[in-house]
Amino acid sequence: MKVLKFGGTSVGSVENLQKVKNILISDDEQKIVVCSAMSGVTDQLVRLVENIRFGDTEAITRNLHRLETKHCDVIDQLIEDKELRSELKDSISFLITEMFELTSQKYSEAINSKVITYGETLLTFIFSKFLNSIGVNNVLLDAKDFMFVDSVENPNIDKVSKKLHKVLEAEIKSQIYITQGFVCKDENGEINHLKRGGSDYTATIIGAALQANEVQIWTDIDGLHNNDPRYVEETHPISHLTYNEAAELAYFGAKILHPQTVSPVVDKDIPVLLKNTFDPQAAGTIISNRTYKKGLKAISAKDDITAIKIKSNRMLMAHGYLRRIFEVFDNFHTSIDMITTSEIAISLTIDDTSNLDEIVKEIENYAEVTIEQNHSIICIVGESVINDRNSYKLFEVLNYIPVRMISYGGSNNNISILVDTKDKIPTLRFLNEKLFNTHHEALV
Ligand code: ASP
Ligand code: MG
């Protein structure tokens, strides 16, 4: 059994859905297929939730109409049989009516979760029916019947496993099962979600729950690249990454992968393959426990970082000072990414600023606080990267770019620097040139 996940672009048009179908029938191993919503649909649903929040009934109607038309157009183009076509369009209308009923309720987190997860429901319904209509037999599973995720950070895989086995036993046996990414049931049994981009995570949770041979994540790029291809020319896909490397890259900005994706499969040693729907022959990236090559592998960047400098003479020679500061962040459920210290000051970074005002107020009781927004963490990743003989070259960046913080040696696998976001692209390009475009062999 393997798990295949297809992202928004892969399921974003009729043409692409045909490509997905070809991938599914290219071998006859048993598969669970996890699908995202069509590209743009979840964003549209987020806007719909805003419409609900502001009671904008006109916009709600317009939004729902657009959603219905988009999915009915796909049915029109995919389904040959006229009767089936109109039957499916009726089912879509039914789902849209269900959503409309939700929109008349008062805004709440629960309504938000219900609404924004509809994109996956609409798409998987159509795709499953389409496959059956052309003789690719499959069974559609409702993820809400088995994705019981009490804690998004630490899902109980055994619980999902038991539920999913039960669902599979009750269903007709099939070579292909289709299900929705992103959606889950929370500790109260209510509909919830795995955060934006969470379908990747759905796939690895299912992979771990079923002890799959592998999990394949199909996107619109041929694997994880050594630098951000949106900003840097001449990037290349990385053929092998360890779970640690992939987790660091995903956390520090590599958009291709949801940051928590690999965590469910690490202990079970299930490989994760990143593949390109538009070039299925391309090797992509294999993420596993094996280290094929040590040293520098990739660079990524994470935006919207806030740097906080905390300065106090009382820190001089005082013990327990850092604990007091960390406690404040802990009390406000705010995690810290980077830290550097001097004898009288500490600088740290956060990306969630929702409680920043309270945090600052608290710390200002005993220290001077300076805030700098719009920064980016540039992260240089690879097993034992700090021992890579070429890593020193990255410090040449100091000659050209004002670097706000550097974190070296926190782990062997990551060197991070903090720059103003306006310097992000030049930094990425400079590092690419220095670290990858010169003759470079990792020597660890
Ligand atoms: N459709 C959801 C999103 O856009 C989940 C996903 O695509 O992974 O965030
Ligand atoms: Mg994604």
CA distances from 10 to 22, 35, 235, 273, 280 (A): 12, 9, 22, 16, 12
Q: Confidence band (pLDDT; 50, 70, 90) for 315? A: low
What are residue 273's DSSP bridge partners?
216, 286
Do residue 203 and residue 303 come from a single domain?
no
Report the separation in Å between the CA atom of 90 and the middle of ligand 2, taken as the mean of its atom positions: 30
| Token couple for 282 | 């391309």
CA distances from 214 to 5, 217, 273, 284, 393 (A): 11, 10, 7, 14, 37
Is the predicted pLDDT of residue 442 greater than 50, yes or no?
no
Do residue 318 and residue 172 come from a single domain?
no
Residue 289 counted as domain residue: no
State percent of the chain over pLDDT 70. 98
Which residue, 172, 198, 220, sits at the end of a domain? 220
Report the separation in Å between the CA atom of 213 and the middle of ligand 2, taken as the mean of its atom positions: 22
- Atom number, ligand 1, closest to the C-alpha of residue 37: 1
Report the separation in Å between the CA atom of 198 and the middle of ligand 2, taken as the mean of its atom positions: 7
Answer yes or no: are the C-beta atoms of 224 and 298 closer than 8 Å: yes
Residue 185 counted as domain residue: yes
Domain span at 345: 298-442
Residues with CB under 6 A from ligand 1: 7-8, 36-37, 42, 119, 181-182, 196-199
How confident is the prediction for the chain on average, in pLDDT?
94
Do residue 91 and residue 179 come from a single domain?
yes
Proximal ligand: closest to the CA of 122? 1
Domain with residue 339: its CATH number is 3.30.2130.10
- Note the pLDDT of residue 374: 97
Which residue, 197, 220, 243, sits at the end of a domain? 220
Which residue, 192, 220, 248, sits at the end of a domain? 220
Residue whose CA lies nearest to ligand 1 atom number 6: 197
Residue 431 counted as domain residue: yes
Residue 54 counted as domain residue: yes
- Per-residue pLDDT of 125-167, as tens digits, reads 999 999 999 999 999 999 999 999 999 999 999 999 999 999 9
- Atom number, ligand 1, closest to the C-alpha of residue 119: 1
- Note the pLDDT of residue 396: 93
Mutate to test the pocket of ligand 1, among 10, 36, 206, 256 (most ligand atoms within 8 A of CB): 36
Residue 260 counted as domain residue: no
Q: Residue ranges of the alpha helices (H) in 228-355?
A: 243-251, 263-266, 321-331
pTM comes to: 0.91
Residue 250 counted as domain residue: no
Do residue 202 and residue 313 come from a single domain?
no
Residue 394 counted as domain residue: yes
Do residue 180 and residue 45 come from a single domain?
yes
Question: How would DSSP label each residue in 252-265?
Answer: TT-TTS-TTTTHHH
Do residue 215 and residue 302 come from a single domain?
no
Do residue 192 and residue 336 come from a single domain?
no
The residues placing their C-beta within 5 Å of ligand 2, an ion, are 7, 197
Residue whose CA lies nearest to ligand 1 atom number 8: 197
Do residue 121 and residue 15 come from a single domain?
yes
- Per-residue pLDDT of 335-346, as tens digits, reads 999 999 988 899
DSSP letter at 38?
P
Proximal ligand: closest to the CA of 203? 1
- Note the pLDDT of residue 280: 97
Residue whose CA lies nearest to ligand 1 atom number 5: 197
Residue 277 counted as domain residue: no
- Per-residue pLDDT of 207-221, as tens digits, reads 999 999 999 999 999
Domain with residue 186: its CATH number is 3.40.1160.10
Q: Give mean pLDDT, residues 174-184.
A: 98
| Token couple for 207 | 């992979």
Give how many domains the chain has, as a whole number: 2
- In 3-state terms, what secondary structure has residue 181? coil
